[in-house]
Amino acid sequence: MIPLILSGGSGTRLWPVSRRNLPKQFLALSGDGTLFQQTVQRAEQLPDAAPPIVVASEDHRFLVADQLLDAGVEGAAIILEPLPRNTAPAIALGALKAMASDADAVLLVLPADHLIGDPASFRNAVARARPAAQQGWLVTFGIRPDRPDTGFGYIRRADPIDAHTYRVGRFVEKPDLATAQSYLADGGYEWNSGMFLFKASRYLQELQQHAPAMLAAAREAFASARADLDFIRIDRDAFARVPENSIDYAVMEKTAHAAVVPVDCAWSDIGSWSALWLAGTRDADGNLREGDTVAMNTRNSLLRSHARHLVATVGVEDLIVVTTPDATLVAHRDAAQDVKRVVDELKASGRSEHALHRVVHRPWGCYDSLEAGERFQVKRIVVKPGASLSLQKHHHRAEHWIVVSGTAEVTCDDKVFLLGENQSTYIPLGSVHRLRNPGKLPLELIEVQSGSYLGEDDIVRYDDAYGRS
């Protein structure tokens, strides 16, 4: 059984913490590790599980690699999508990769951004679904609903296939409240989790029957893939020809072989701040708090500080208050699904906060833009042990580097030298330079840039360990 981890989501309803360059699956929102790391580790604990296949955006390739390394997961295949095409093509790429090494591979398809509070029940559900999957059924996992939620699609159970598995009667779109209440009272409906178990070959057969153009284009894109470091890069032009669609619309709602295994495993898709509030451990006043917060006469609220300052509330209830270094969200819990509208507005107005954090992660470490003016910018840079930035130069800016902790190896034109704590150097405009951390501890420094243009695109790379141009 090969776990297929789908990691292409953007998590816009969890703005301002989740953004395009660091979406929710790569964040530590609940429990130990990020949602992505929890997903791959949960899959790794299943009996007979092979190393996973991960399908992710090429923009997140180093995030995926770093988080797999930190989680101790080895042997994963990382397929990079050059542009989003929804779940059906992503699963097709994973199925083609699985069948390249095992024609009988069974795929366990898992979104990377789900939270499961009861992993033992999840493992039992996977074991119960295995016989039907081996017999050619496309099995989905239906979550037993505990409330009339309008944020999920539903699955209606039909006749039993075995003691644990049922035919799917029908898939239902997200209902209104009255309809959701009737589904809960009926008892024959589950939430559509978006998790699946099936043979890779059976999925491709169903795709051939119901979406042949998609399968043909996906095969062409996969055939033209190339290896790049530890990644499998899918050709952009070929993948652009793949029709965009979800597995539900392309296959599951059309096949005669859809099955469902009901499961109660404390599941949440963490699709909004209110969903995180429901899934978290709340205090006696019903508040879920994270970071530096003070709550006075505050009830049933979510308070999170992801910045280096205090969040305090007085005399409020049913609120979401989330702050980051460059943005603050205040919303009513009932309006949590509408946070996406803020992201759409930021995008339409040309602002960067919908996509970029102040802290930007790079394969060598990260930087935090502390302050900026018309002709200057101040950054805090952290370089991982043994890592180095590219050999580069800038046309429009000079840089001053001050080491705060660790040891820096600096290349500046024809000179190579070391800097220790409290030492500094100057990189003139146009100089070819590189920063490397030769030590075993993180290197932290302050960079002061000055010049007529300070954009990240003012860079000429001569040599880069990460294959960036």
Q: What is the mean pLDDT of residues 45-64?
A: 94
Q: What is the pLDDT of residues 192-251, one digit of tens each?
A: 999 999 999 999 999 999 999 999 999 999 999 999 878 999 999 999 999 999 999 999
User: Do 359-463 and 2-268 fall under one CATH topology?
Assistant: no
pLDDT at residue 94, rounded to an integer? 98
SS3 category, 214: helix
Nearest to 190 by CA among 232, 220, 156, 227: 156
Please give the biggest Cα pair distance in the chain. Answer: 76
pLDDT-derived band at 63, boundaries 50, 70, 90 = very high
* pLDDT of 468 above 80: no
Q: What is the mean pLDDT of residues 451-468?
A: 90
Between CA 204 and CA 182 the distance in angstroms is: 36
* pLDDT of 465 above 90: no
pLDDT at residue 165, rounded to an integer? 96
Asked if omega into 82 is within 30° of 0 (cis), the reply is: no
Report the phi/psi class of residue 108: left, alpha or beta, with left for phi > 0 and alpha for psi in -120 to 50. beta
pLDDT-derived band at 31, boundaries 50, 70, 90 = confident
* pLDDT of 27 above 90: yes
Q: What is the mean pLDDT of residues 76-96?
A: 97
Between CA 301 and CA 264 the distance in angstroms is: 26
Q: What is the mean pLDDT of residues 367-384?
A: 94
Between CA 155 and CA 270 the distance in angstroms is: 19
Which residue would you say has higher pLDDT here, 230 or 191? 191
* pLDDT of 145 above 90: yes
pLDDT at residue 151, rounded to an integer? 87
Which residue would you say has higher pLDDT here, 250 or 359? 250
Taking residue 426's Cβ as centre, other Cβ atoms within 10 Å add up to: 11
Q: What is the mean pLDDT of residues 277-290?
A: 96
Domain boundaries along the sequence of the chain: 2-268, 273-336, 359-463
* pLDDT of 116 above 90: yes
For a pLDDT cut of 90, what percent of the chain falls above it?
Answer: 91
Between CA 187 and CA 171 the distance in angstroms is: 15
Residues in CB range of 445: below 8 A, 6 or more apart: 380, 381, 383, 401, 402, 403, 404, 406, 408, 435
The CATH superfamily label for domain 2-268 reads Spore Coat Polysaccharide Biosynthesis Protein SpsA; Chain A (3.90.550.10)
- The DSSP string of 154-204 is EEEEEEESSSS-EEEEEEEPPP-HHHHHHHHHH--EEEEEEEEEEEHHHHH
Burial of 145 (0-12, 13-18, 19+ CB in 10 A): middle
Q: What is the mean pLDDT of residues 446-463?
A: 94
Between CA 245 and CA 207 the distance in angstroms is: 11
* pLDDT of 469 above 80: no
Q: Report DSSP state, residue 339.
A: H
pLDDT-derived band at 358, boundaries 50, 70, 90 = confident
The CATH superfamily label for domain 359-463 reads Jelly Rolls (2.60.120.10)
pLDDT at residue 300, rounded to an integer? 98
For a pLDDT cut of 70, what percent of the chain falls above it?
Answer: 100
Q: What is the pLDDT of residues 298-313, one digit of tens each?
A: 999 999 998 888 999 9
pLDDT at residue 307, rounded to an integer? 81
pLDDT at residue 11, rounded to an integer? 82
pLDDT at residue 334, rounded to an integer? 93
Report the phi/psi class of residue 48: left, alpha or beta, with left for phi > 0 and alpha for psi in -120 to 50. left
SS3 category, 10: coil
pLDDT-derived band at 127, boundaries 50, 70, 90 = very high
Whether 21 contacts 280, CB under 8 Å: no
Arithmetic mean of pLDDT over the chain: 95
pLDDT at residue 454, rounded to an integer? 93
